[in-house]
């Protein structure tokens, strides 16, 4: 054990003198002995209380005596002429130690010993290692009942199939409704139903761990239920014949904070952008790297920030596929208008690289066979990635009439959305707050002429893929900022109008209209705190398509759905 008690205060030198001083005359000797005994009693009390061991107490006393001896030896004083009484007896003198100094010595010793005891965990039964204090575990569990009421007048799945097989200009916005299987007499049968209601009981479990390696470096890990092919949902639907659930690595990242004004992250990281669920689903995590630069004083009236990010979407595997990636940059600021009004603004630009579709010629037709080459399908927007709503086209239109070769769908437009996000919090109306947010997105790369340059087959020469390039959302919430305590509550109302190609449908909200773009509708919600970190939520979502869900040859194609969600959410 390293003794640190005598390196802070000059008053402890007096303690050393008290423990090691020579014999003095009667009055001074009594005062000094009182000080000595007080100190010893204090140390004995710490031993009896289990704060320190007897060995540590003896070490304290020994260190004090050694320090006193060392200080006296380092400052030799020339012997003075002895002072005697009238009868010739020698007189010994020691400095007077006032009561205030004694109290100071006592308090200093007590504080220092207790602080060191806590740091080194003296006398703590079953003390855990210090690294445990650097680990934080959190998570949440949600039970959900969901009912999806699909409109009975929705366009039938057979119509989507007819548009595909008949090659009705090769454009669609919900291609998965055209998925089919062949019957025994080689006729296509849709595998989807666009008019059937659905009721589900669902569960979501997320378990996170954060390890603080140093003051500057930390590591994050989170496991979650869900599916290996669904990026925007961590729900697990019940009704699997009591089969066990899988847990997936939802997050795995390193975070470095070398200074107050910068944060660096790499791996599978939380969403680094200031945004709404219209652009980035709340369950989405990003694979790649991000850096956030901010004003070092976050309490400043205006605190600007800048976020940069790079995220690989698909690894290049020559010669079959090119790499795909996402670049992003966002500039914004937190603005404290006054003590009760806070505003946040952010302007972001995102650019997807090599994700757009192109005509694919790597196949040949020989009689009734259609052999494909090594690069066939490299421009696909795959079914495991897309939700619905983006305008897609058949990259192999000459094969669309063949039931033996499924179409390969590619994105009709490039995606370079510019997104403006704003939020405001008003706390004037205690005990509840008003939260307002809005977001607007515009795909700056939306271009029909660019589509025709990439879709080189003659069947697309005069085709306008249609669609919308922008979208917006407005959200109002009243009540607690975050429902954490019992009897906290919050009501919400959201309206969204999201054009088909304003943002990539793969990563947007998966709830309104059962996910994707080309949707307009509203969400009404209520959350109530039953207990601390335990809440009950109710949401009603109503949505319908904006443009035709197929293409201009089917202008009246529609899809409408209303959903009810009842949630019991527990956080820990």
Query: Tens digit of pLDDT for each residue in 475-495?
Result: 999 999 999 999 999 999 999
Reply yes or no on whether the pLDDT at 83 is more than 80: no
Per-residue confidence band for 105, with pLDDT thresholds at 50, 70 and 90: confident
Q: Six-digit token pair at 382?
A: 């795959």
Average per-residue pLDDT in the chain? 86
Please report the pLDDT score of residue 49 as a whole number.
Answer: 67
Per-residue confidence band for 3, with pLDDT thresholds at 50, 70 and 90: very low
SS3 of 64, please? Answer: helix
Q: How far apart are CA 165 and CA 88, in angstroms?
A: 129
Q: How far apart are CA 504 and CA 128, in angstroms?
A: 49
Please report the pLDDT score of residue 367 as a whole number.
Answer: 63
Q: How far apart are CA 506 and CA 308, in angstroms?
A: 21
Q: Six-digit token pair at 482?
A: 């975050």
Reply yes or no on whether the pLDDT at 22 is more than 50: no
φ and ψ at 137, to 5 degrees? -115, 130
Q: Six-digit token pair at 518?
A: 């080309």
Domain positions in the chain are 5-124, 142-204+239-571
Q: Six-digit token pair at 306?
A: 């800048």
Kindly report which listed range (78-82, 200-204, 372-376, 563-567) carries the lowest average pLDDT score. Answer: 78-82
DSSP tag of 366: B
Query: Tens digit of pLDDT for each residue in 334-345?
Result: 999 998 999 999
Query: Tens digit of pLDDT for each residue in 336-394?
Result: 999 899 999 999 999 999 999 999 888 877 766 677 788 888 999 999 899 999 999 99
Q: How far apart are CA 21 and CA 228, in angstroms?
A: 76
DSSP H/E element including 273: none
Please report the pLDDT score of residue 439 as a whole number.
Answer: 98
Please report the pLDDT score of residue 429 as a whole number.
Answer: 87
Reply yes or no on whether the pLDDT at 15 is more than 50: no
Q: How far apart are CA 311 and CA 290, in angstroms?
A: 8
Query: What count of other Cβ atoms lies within 10 Å of the Cβ of residue 78?
Result: 4
Please report the pLDDT score of residue 8 as a whole number.
Answer: 44
Query: What count of other Cβ atoms lies within 10 Å of the Cβ of residue 478?
Result: 16
Position with higher pLDDT, 368 vs 139: 139
Please report the pLDDT score of residue 14 as a whole number.
Answer: 46
Query: Tens digit of pLDDT for each residue in 161-170?
Result: 888 766 567 8
Position with higher pLDDT, 66 vs 314: 314
User: Going by CATH, does the domain composed of 142-204+239-571 fall within 2.40.160?
Assistant: yes
Please report the pLDDT score of residue 95 as a whole number.
Answer: 62
Q: Six-digit token pair at 23?
A: 């014999």
Task: State the Rg of the chain over Cα.
Answer: 36
Reply yes or no on whether the pLDDT at 110 is more than 50: yes
Do residues 409 and 380 touch, judged by C-beta distance below 8 A?
A: yes
Nearest to 358 by CA among 467, 442, 450: 450
Query: Tens digit of pLDDT for each residue in 31-44?
Result: 666 667 777 777 77
DSSP E strand boundaries for 480-572: 489-498, 519-531, 534-545, 560-571
> Does the bond joining 222 to the residue before it have cis omega, within 30 degrees of 0?
no
Position with higher pLDDT, 126 vs 275: 275
Using CB atoms within 10 Å of the CB of residue 410, give its burial: 0 to 12 exposed, 13 to 18 middle, 19+ buried.
buried
Do residues 259 and 265 touch, judged by C-beta distance below 8 A?
A: no
Query: Tens digit of pLDDT for each residue in 411-435?
Result: 999 999 999 999 999 998 888 899 9
Nearest to 177 by CA among 157, 198, 149, 152: 157
Query: Tens digit of pLDDT for each residue in 190-238?
Result: 888 999 999 999 999 999 999 999 999 999 999 999 988 899 999 999 9
Reply yes or no on whether the pLDDT at 281 is more than 90: yes
Range from 41-45, 47-51, 518-522 that averages highest in pLDDT? 518-522
Reply yes or no on whether the pLDDT at 401 is more than 70: no
Tally: H helices and E strands in the chain: 6, 22
Percent of the chain whose predicted confidence (pLDDT) is above 90: 59
SS3 of 47, please? Answer: helix
Using CB atoms within 10 Å of the CB of residue 178, give its burial: 0 to 12 exposed, 13 to 18 middle, 19+ buried.
buried
Q: How far apart are CA 252 and CA 270, in angstroms?
A: 9
Reply yes or no on whether the pLDDT at 25 is more than 80: no
Please report the pLDDT score of residue 9 as a whole number.
Answer: 42
Please report the pLDDT score of residue 202 as a whole number.
Answer: 97
Residue whose token pair is 């799945």:
157
Nearest to 5 by CA among 108, 146, 84, 81: 108
Q: How far apart are CA 338 and CA 483, in angstroms?
A: 24
Position with higher pLDDT, 135 vs 97: 135
Residue whose token pair is 């205060």:
9
Mean pLDDT of 511-537: 98
Please report the pLDDT score of residue 183 as a whole number.
Answer: 78
Please report the pLDDT score of residue 123 as a whole number.
Answer: 60
Kindly report which listed range (64-68, 205-209, 313-317, 537-541) carries the lowest average pLDDT score. Answer: 64-68
DSSP tag of 374: T
Reply yes or no on whether the pLDDT at 520 is more than 90: yes
Mean pLDDT of 542-562: 95
Do residues 464 and 450 touch, judged by C-beta distance below 8 A?
A: no
């Amino acid at each position: 054990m390293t003794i640190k008690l005598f390196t802070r205060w000059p008053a402890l030198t007096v303690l050393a003198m008290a423990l090691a001083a020579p014999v003095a005359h009667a009055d001074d000797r009594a005062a000094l002995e009182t000080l000595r005994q007080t100190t010893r009693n204090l140390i004995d009390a710490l031993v009896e209380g289990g704060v320190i061991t007897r060995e540590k107490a003896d070490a304290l006393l020994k260190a004090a005596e050694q320090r006193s001896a060392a200080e006296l030896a380092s400052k030799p004083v020339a012997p003075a002429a002895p002072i005697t009484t009238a009868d010739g007896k020698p007189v010994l003198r020691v400095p007077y130690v006032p009561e205030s100094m004694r109290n100071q010595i006592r308090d200093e010793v007590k504080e220092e010993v207790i602080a060191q005891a806590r740091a080194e965990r003296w006398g703590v039964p079953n003390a855990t290692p210090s690294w445990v204090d650097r680990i934080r575990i959190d998570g949440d569990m949600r039970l959900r009942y969901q009912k999806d009421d699909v409109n009975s007048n929705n366009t039938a799945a057979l119509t989507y199939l007819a548009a595909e097989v008949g090659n009705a200009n090769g454009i669609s916005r919900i291609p998965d409704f055209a998925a089919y299987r062949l019957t025994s007499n080689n006729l296509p049968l849709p595998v989807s139903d666009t008019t059937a209601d659905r009721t589900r009981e669902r569960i979501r479990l997320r378990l996170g761990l954060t390890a603080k390696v140093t003051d500057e470096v930390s590591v994050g890990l989170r496991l979650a239920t869900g599916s290996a092919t669904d990026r925007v949902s961590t729900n697990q639907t019940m009704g699997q014949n009591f089969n066990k659930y899988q847990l997936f690595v939802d997050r795995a990242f390193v975070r470095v904070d070398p200074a107050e004004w910068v944060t660096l992250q790499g791996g599978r990281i939380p969403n680094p952008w200031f945004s709404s669920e219209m652009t980035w689903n709340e369950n989405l995590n990003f694979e790649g790297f991000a850096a956030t630069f901010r004003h070092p004083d976050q309490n400043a009236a205006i605190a600007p920030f800048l976020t940069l990010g790079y995220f690989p979407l698909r690894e290049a595997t020559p010669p079959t596929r090119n790499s795909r990636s996402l670049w992003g940059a966002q500039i914004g600021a937190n603005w404290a208008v006054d003590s009760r009004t806070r505003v946040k603004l952010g302007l972001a630009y995102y650019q997807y690289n090599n994700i757009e579709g192109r005509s694919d010629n790597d196949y040949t037709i020989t009689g009734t066979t259609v052999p494909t080459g090594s690069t066939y399908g490299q421009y696909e927007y795959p079914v495991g990635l897309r939700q619905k709503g983006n305008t897609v086209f058949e990259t192999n239109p000459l094969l669309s009439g063949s039931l033996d070769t499924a179409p390969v769908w590619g994105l009709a437009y490039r995606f370079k959305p510019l997104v403006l996000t704003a939020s405001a919090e008003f706390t004037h109306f205690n005990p509840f707050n008003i939260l307002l947010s809005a977001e607007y997105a515009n795909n700056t790369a939306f271009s029909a002429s660019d589509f025709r340059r990439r879709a080189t087959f003659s069947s697309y020469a005069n085709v306008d893929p249609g669609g919308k390039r922008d979208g917006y959302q407005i959200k109002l919430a009243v009540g607690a900022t975050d429902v954490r305590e019992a009897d906290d509550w919050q009501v919400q109302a959201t309206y969204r109008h999201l054009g088909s190609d304003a943002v990539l449908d793969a990563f947007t909200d998966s709830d309104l209209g059962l996910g994707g773009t080309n949707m307009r509708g509203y969400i009404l919600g209520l959350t109530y705190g039953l207990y601390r970190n335990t809440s009950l939520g109710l949401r009603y979502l109503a949505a319908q398509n904006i443009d035709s869900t197929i293409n201009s040859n089917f202008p009246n194609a529609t899809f409408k759905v209303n959903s009810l969600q009842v949630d019991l959410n527990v956080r820990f």
